[in-house]
Structure 1
Amino acid sequence: MILAALFLLWSVAAPLQAPWREVAPGIETATAADLGGDANWAAKVLLVDPHLATFAVRFDPQKPTLAQWRQRYPGAVAIANGSFYSADAGEVRPTCDIVQEGRKLKGAGCLRQDALWFGARQREAKPIAQSTVAAASRTPRFFPPPDFHPDQWNDALKSFPTLVRGGAPACSGAHYCAESSRTAAIGQLRDGRILLFASQWPAVRRDVARWLAETLGVMDAVNLDGGPEATLALKGEPLEDAVGTYGRGLPLVLLVLPP
């Protein structure tokens, strides 16, 4: 068991070792089952080096389908669903606040204590002398709500519940975390790489949280919208091979774009 776990961790840390398949430079994919996850999830994982790709958060209340998002962003290496949305009185809004192209969009209501912000793309700073510290400060990362400053980010989203925090599983409640449904999540490894996860079939969120932390070594992760919205599609992949629901409207997506 220990040897198997060490092998999986080594696989994550070493690009292009089985079972990872390169999608684009710095971007790799594998099935969750090949990484020690439950095969019944029928889940896909994408691992992204943030120095070789950029992330963007996009919201459209008209709820474009995956095919329509692909037409809009043909260069996207991958498209995943974002956080939750609300449709009260026919008005489609993000449930939690988001930042899109430097503008903060107010959510319908999201005061959960177990939420996390994912800072996807920081605002361009004024030209300064480049340094390792400066470069690191611009990479995507996670924040508890009190520590997030939307004016510093070009794209960001807030979601819930937290699945992993500080390398430990954090989703252990008896209700939402114990439910079984199609699940999507975004997390970050210790080396800064970003991990996207989506399942085609139901998964118990606390089981996913434990697997992310204990098997893959994820340091922070947050749940994204699940159920029929759970989506992870790679560029050039036939729609029927993507994780998702064919023809489903996706008002909020996370794009993985070339640098």
Structure 2
Amino acid sequence: MLLCLDIGNTNIKAGIFEGEELIAHWRFSTQRHRLADEYAALFLNLFALNGIRLRDIRGCAVACVVPPLRVVFEEMIQRYLGVNPLIVGPGIKTGIRLAVENPREVGADRVANAVATFRRYGGPAIAIAFGTATVFDVISREGEYLGGAIAPGIIVAAEALVTAAAQLYQVELIRPPRAIGRNTIQAMQSGLILGFASMVEGMIQRLQAELEEPARVIATGGLADTIAQEVRSIQVVDPHLTLHGLRFLYELNRRR
């Protein structure tokens, strides 16, 4: 079995693969001050609840964009699983060319998403991750990672709005009945859900224009389903895209 970990600024996504099949997956909040033993206790409970034995896990792949947690998870994996994890970063084989000015700047999660997108859906393609940030990654027909765009995430934008505006408050992030909000809740939902959907649609059009050929559009992340319902250009919602990318990267580098 292979353990894959996507450690983000807001959430940590974990999955267990048996061959190519994702047999278990979890999502929980990122806690920057947890120790290796505390994360180990969490994972041991999750494994037990799903009937997964530690000795069955033969490998691990990690994408981490929270630098302090990289060492924490590396320690946890080595001590409790007895394996050396593949940490996605400079120097590993990806199977794609990072055709950007500084490949070292590309986040580990973006690399994993680009790899999974090309391996699962081909190119050209646009992968959109709805997380702490809304990230657009563009892959060419030949499998080159061309770069993309980064915008605020919907939850981050909502929190900033509530923090900065004294008379606004948290609302449920669901589609409002109409674009013209008849009250404050509907108005905020319209701006956040429909407004973000319009931004995404507009960005897809701009990226497509620069590619000069139609690209398949794949969405992932916590609010991918909600936004995909409002954006016709999104063709696929793949909630575990990053985990699959980590699996591909592990398999590619295991043969080194």
For Structure 1 versus Structure 2, the TM-score category normalised by the shorter chain is: under 0.3
Q: Would you tell me which structure has more strand in proportion to its own residues?
A: 1
